Amino acid sequence: MKTVYDYTVKDRQGNDVSLSEYQGKVLLIVNTATGCGFTPHYEPLEAMYKELRDRGFEILDFPCNQFANQAPGSDDEIHEFCTLKFGTEFPQFSKIDVNGETADPLYAFLAAEKPFEGFGKGLKSAALNKFADRNNKAFGEKAYIKWNFTKFLVDREGRVIARFEPTADMKTVREAVIAAL
Residues 36, 96, 98, 162: which is the catalytic one? 36
- pLDDT for the residue 148: 95
Assessment of whether the complete model's pTM goes beyond 0.85: yes
Q: pLDDT > 90: what percent of the chain?
A: 82
Instruction: Report whether 37 contacts 167 (CB < 8 A).
Output: no
Collect all residues with Cβ–Cβ distance below 8 Å to 142 and sequence separation of at least 6.
Answer: 99, 100, 101, 103, 108
pLDDT digits over 47-86, tens only? 999 999 999 999 999 999 999 889 989 999 999 999 999 9
Say if CB 82 and CB 34 are below 8 A apart: yes
Which residues are paired to 144 by β-bridges? none
Distance in angstroms (rounded) separating the CA atoms of residues 117 and 75: 30
Q: Which CATH class is domain 4-180?
A: alpha beta
| Spatial distance between the Cα atoms of 145 and 103, rounded to a whole number of angstroms | 10
Query: Model confidence at 129, in pLDDT bands (50, 70, 90)?
Result: confident
Domain ranges of the chain: 4-180
Number of Cβ atoms within 10 Å of the Cβ of 73: 16
What are residue 164's DSSP bridge partners? 151
Residue 21 host element (H or E): none
| Active-site residue, 64 included | no
